[in-house]
Amino acid sequence: MSGNAMVSWQRVSKEYAGKPALLDFSLDLGPGVHCLLGPNGAGKTTALNILTGIRSASSGEVQLLGQRVSRGGKQARSLGCVPQSLSFPPTLKVVEVLRFIAVHYPDPLDFAELETKLDLAGILPKQCGSLSGGQLRRLGIAAAIMSNAPVLILDEPLAGLDIDGRAAVRHLLLEQQEQGRCVIMASHDYAEIEATADTVTLMQDGRKLATGSIAEIRDTLDISYLSFESPAAPPTELATLGTLQELGAGRYRLITKQPDPASKLIVELIPQPRLQISQSSLEDAVSNLLKKEAGQ
């Protein structure tokens, strides 16, 4: 376990009816926003459920703030959690649910502060059974943040949220990061991951494929995109430096591993190319890593 780890999975495996869902999974996470990502069924929720104590590991162990996690154990008081599927008693009002949850934590967040941060005023008097999907998600996030716990687990926190809701959650995540909390989220939303996460861990078939900062994962692909304008067909030399694509209306894109000589050539040979250079996205890099793993 590394020095500043707040959460540590140590060679954790989990089987459901003899089928592996998590395989020898090890990961240490300290303060910051961390994202588990990977295809459906990769094992993200299983890893999180073992951390929260909802499920037990078949082998290996998980430590939370230096203590071994057990199923249904006391560690839950150090965790705020938004599970993937949210269900609250349908006849209870939102305000009642939040008050009920607050009493289970030693130092819950001030209720008024929470209300403002997540713009909850409109839904507090509503019964949980009458909430829309996005309002339910907002309640789930409010419950997790209200815990004021050092470790927050958010499984698909942005699913179903509107633009304002996403902005509010993004802001909250950055705030939690600044306060030195360890926020762990599972998500499929690459734009949000790139905007909020410090590190990402890519999983597939219950295994950890890669872990690192977003820049480190992007760099595994090592590809640049050079977009430019050309009044005529671009010089053929360019095609020797990568894959040239015609985008229409006189715009082209070169996908290359050699951005320096390629951009030099574009600027030399094409008048006013309006060159734009961008790195591979996290999504491209992840897709490439998954393809490599599948031997494609």
CA–CA separation, 87 vs 294, rounded Å? 36
Cβ closer to ligand ATP: 41 or 129?
Answer: 41
Q: How far is the CB of 135 from ligand ATP (least distance, A)?
A: 21
Instruction: List C-alpha distances in Å: 178 to 45, 150, 173, 175.
Output: 25, 12, 9, 5
Assigned token pair, 71: 């199923």
Please check whether residue 33 is in contact with residue 183, taking contact to mean a CB–CB distance below 8 angstroms.
yes
Residues counted in the chain: 296
Site string for ligand ATP, 39-78 (x = CB under 6 A): -xxxxxxx--------------------------------
- Give the other-Cβ count within 10 Å of 14's Cβ: 22
Q: How far is the CB of 38 from ligand ATP (least distance, A)?
A: 6
Assigned token pair, 109: 């967040």
Which residues 160-189 are close enough to bind ligand ATP by CB under 6 A?
A: 186
Q: How far is the CB of 50 from ligand ATP (least distance, A)?
A: 10
Q: How far is the CB of 157 from ligand ATP (least distance, A)?
A: 13
Assigned token pair, 119: 């713009």
Which residues 185-224 are close enough to bind ligand ATP by CB under 6 A?
A: 186
Q: Which residues pair with 155 in a beta bridge?
A: 186
Instruction: List C-alpha distances in Å: 203 to 52, 76, 188.
Output: 19, 25, 12
Q: Would you count residue 118 as binding ligand ATP (CB under 6 A)?
A: no
Site string for ligand ATP, 9-38 (x = CB under 6 A): -------x----x----------------x
Instruction: By CB under 6 A, name the binding residues for ligand ATP.
Output: 16, 21, 38, 40-46, 186
